[in-house]
Amino acid sequence: MRIANLTPFLIVTLALPRRQTPDPTPILDHAATVYRGVTTVSADFVQIITNPMVGPPDTTRGKLYERRPGEFAMRFTAPSGDRIVADGRYLWLYTPSTTPDQVIRRRIPDTGTTGPNLIGQFVEHPHERFLARYVRADSSAGGAGIADVVALTPRDQNAPYAGARVWIARNDGLVRRIDISEAGGQERTVILSELRINGSVPAGEFRFTPPGGTRVVDQ
């Protein structure tokens, strides 16, 4: 009797169609198309770095700016005074919260992309650069409504990270959150809010002059 009673349930269960995983290709295509029409970006950001070998998660926040083709900046409000600036030729890293007497300068290679910016590296030519997998739909990315989460694995084995997940808003195709798995097990999350594109951005955000008394270290 127990077996007989289960039989209709098993038939109905086996007859249900399998839920197909969405194809990430059109999602990335949409994001790439939208990004090609972007000239400037400004947004508030929250960055969370997790490294179990170091200690508890480190949370920072501030303002992010971008002006294509090659200018990018992050001005931190917590910790106040820290800056990251890409001026088209150099990437400047200034963190007075930890090393007030030092500035790190790195030459930006001419790679034919928009340079070392946070968003473009994941949505420019995504199919050529990544293997993509759809993860889920999510509504927690910077107040942008529903976003599709796509996992990206670099095709280049020399990439500076093992993988990333990007939250792409359905309503406008813009990236609102990025989770990056870095070398050594470190995880970096950047959440963007108050995102504005193609508006005016202060030119001074893309210029950096080492403060007096600091030492410039080239890398």
Report domain extents, the chain.
21-218
**Secondary structure (DSSP) of the chain:** -HHHHHHHHHHHHHHSPPPPPPPSHHHHHHHHHHHHT-SEEEEEEEEEEE-TTT-S-EEEEEEEEEETTTEEEEEEEETEEEEEEEESSEEEEE-TTT-TTEEEEEEPP--SSS-S-TTHHHHSSHHHHEEEEEEEEES-STT-S-EEEEEEEESSTT-SEEEEEEEEETTT--EEEEEEEEGGG-EEEEEEEEEEESS---GGGG---PPTT-EEEE-
Residues of the chain with pLDDT under 50: 1-3, 6, 9-11, 13
What CATH number does domain 21-218 carry, 3.30.360.10, 2.50.20.10, 3.30.200.20, 3.40.640.10?
A: 2.50.20.10
Convert the pLDDT of each residue in 168-215 to its tens digit: 999 999 999 999 998 778 999 999 999 999 999 998 999 999 999 999
Q: What integer pLDDT is reported at residue 49 of this predicted model?
A: 95
Q: Specify the pLDDT at position 19.
A: 65
